[in-house]
Structure 1
């Protein structure tokens, strides 16, 4: 079978897998941002009972392999009565993992906002929460865009790991085609090109967003 004929036949299945890859990446990014913001705030508040659990969580998620986390959530938790579908387990694990990295990006960005901004807000009568919400966070998001975009690009590649729990994303779709055609090299290269293309697209969106936020800040 010619390579182009092979890729033509594989395209519909790989495109479906690519859809699941994007679903996993974007869903996990949203979940990771929500939890990551909570963790970032918990890491900067002066209350140790809030700060230390958040710090331990971030250290744990960043210090253990994502593959092990997937196994714990999908294969380990059912032993204590907590069970998820493969799709839900994949999104949940990726969200939990991404939240640790995003929290550090957001925390660094929040701390990067000048102390004068806080002082000026307090002098206007704003509370800590109001200052964080209306003054600091909008500026921090602009600072954190590059690192958050890098996390999203990493998520796109990390979705390949959820194939181990039978989620038919791009990598598992590719493996299924290989099992029938016995042509691994061109199909793995094609999958790599799809991941690369998705990364390039999101990098372009990142640069466009940075320019837009930069103009808005001027």
Structure 2
């Protein structure tokens, strides 16, 4: 009996976790976290009040949907940009290669908040980009595109050169090599990372509130300024972001197992 109970809480390295043990231990961790949060709130005398949800439900739903829309558009645009930049980083024309390299270094080396201010108030103003949502999608796409470019480039470099030589040896054309050798492996290597990057796009979209894009974060800021219920609003905000990002975490793990990416 004691050994059976011990198996619910211990596992040997490399051994699979029994589903019952996994659910039980995860539940215990969640309870411990919630207890810690509750104790912290009680210690500072904060009582959470979510009664405002009914009053502002339309605005909350609109902000939630706009966050999803901005994130989806940004992901599509950043995927296209990242693929182009990844190709440019291996281009034979040095000017193109160095331009792509400089882009990645600048974007990855500076905070997104700085980029938002510079793009919207300087570049956007200079080129007449007044639509805040268009500007927000463009900023997120440029920012995430640099990271996606590195994901794609790293995946391309991980493909064994012997496979490309073998494809040429059996008479594959360049298009056939790309279709039957490169693309299947590239998809298997990039899907888990790209799924995780989409979660980053969703979280990074919250910074667009600084230029008054009325997405989820800006909506909650306005509501909290109205009802002075900052903690209730921001706890709800965190929960809504988890609703969007947690499923992506499970999707990413599914792709890792499905494609054998982790091995």
Gaps of 5+ in 2: 1-47
Of 40, 53, 75, which aligns to 1:29? 75
Larger radius of gyration: 2
Secondary structure of the corresponding residue to residue 214 of structure 2: coil
In structure 1, what is the Cα distance between the partners aligned to 2:54 and 2:157? 50
In the other structure, the counterpart of 2:135 is 89
Classify 1:105/1:189 alpha carbon distance in 2 versus 1 (closer, same or farther; 3 Å).
same
1:43 equivalent in structure 2: 89
What is the aligned counterpart of 2:186 among 122, 140, 155? Answer: 140
Change (3 A) 1:129 1:99: farther
**What 5-or-longer segments of structure 1 have no aligned partner?**
none
- Per the alignment, residue 172 of structure 1 pairs with 218
Q: Residue 5 in 1 paired to residue 25 in 2?
A: no
Moved more, 45-54 or 153-162: 45-54
Matched, 1:58 2:107: no
RMSD (Å), alpha carbons: 2.2
Name the CA distance, whole Å, in 2 between partners of 1:170 and 1:79.
25
Which whole-Å deviations, capped at 9, do the CAs of 1:80-136 have from their partners, x for residues lacking one?
A: 334241000000000011100000001001111111221122224445455335421
Alignment-derived partner of residue 111 in structure 1 = 157
- 8 Å CA contact retained: 2:224, 2:230: yes
| Alignment partners' CA distance in 1, 2:115 and 2:176 | 36
Specify the SS of the correspondent of 1:3. Answer: coil
Aligned to 1:208: 254
Cα gap change, 1:113/1:84 in structure 2, threshold over 3 Å: closer, same or farther?
Answer: farther
1:76 aligned onto 2:122:
yes
Task: Give the stretch that moved more between structures: 113-122 or 204-213.
Answer: 204-213
- Residue pair 1:36, 1:106 contacting (<8 A) in 2 also: yes
Q: Render the CA deviation track for 1:18-62: whole Å, top value 9, x for unaligned.
A: 111111111111100101011111112344232111101111111
* Match for residue 162 of structure 1 among 208, 211, 227: 208
Equivalent-residue separation in structure 1 for 2:155 and 2:62 (angstroms): 37
